[in-house]
Amino acid sequence: MTTRLRVSDLALARVAAHRARAVPGVVMLVGDVAQTLLGLAADWLPREPVPAELRTRGVVATVHGTRAEVRVTVAVRFGAECASLAARVRAEVAEEITATTGLVPRVRVTIAEIALPD
């Protein structure tokens, strides 16, 4: 008998978002307009409340067989060096995905915002 594991896009996105938010220097994940509006709508319809640490806004993930593609968009704090921080987010998200799902992902990171003091 063979057993096969399939991981959904959503589960993958949750793993990626959770790990990306934990990288020091990352302030938050930044969703695009569609994701943000859908997220806000979901907040007003509390059928299935999603705890903050599992939100996937800012992450787009697709599974193709044993490969996966993940796009992460983050805001970082001013003072963190963007190039190495982006590399760290890529490495940590990829490592986490491989460790928890066995998938080998390609992770793309965009820093959309450097959070400046008010």
Helices marked H in the chain: 9-22, 33-44, 82-101
Burial pattern 26-59, b for ≥16 Cβ within 10 A else e, equals beebbbeeebeeeeeeeeeeeeeeeeeeebbbbb
Query: Residue 6, CB half-sphere, CA atoms under 13 Å: how many?
Result: 6
CB-facing half-sphere around the CA of 62: CA atoms within 13 A: 4
Structure tokens of 82? 């963007």
The tokens for 86 are 């982006």
Binders of another protein: how many residues, by CB under 8 A? 39
Asked whether position 9 contacts another protein by CB under 8 A, the answer is: no
Give the interface segment with another protein, choosing from 2-10, 12-20, 60-68, 70-78 (CB under 8 A). 70-78
Question: 59, 13 in Cβ contact below 8 A?
Answer: yes
Q: Which of 16, 23, 63, 86 binds another protein (CB under 8 A)?
A: 86
Based on CB atoms, which residue is closest to another protein, 1 or 83?
Answer: 83
Among the residue ranges 10-18, 37-45, 60-68, 96-104, the one whose residues contact another protein (CB under 8 A): 37-45
Least Å distance, CB 68 to another protein, is 13
Pick the piece of the chain touching another protein (CB under 8 A) from 7-15, 59-67, 96-104, 107-115.
107-115
- 79 contributes a contact to another protein by CB under 8 A: yes
104 is a site residue for another protein (CB under 8 A): no
Task: Please state the closest distance from residue 5 (CB atom) to another protein, in A.
Answer: 26
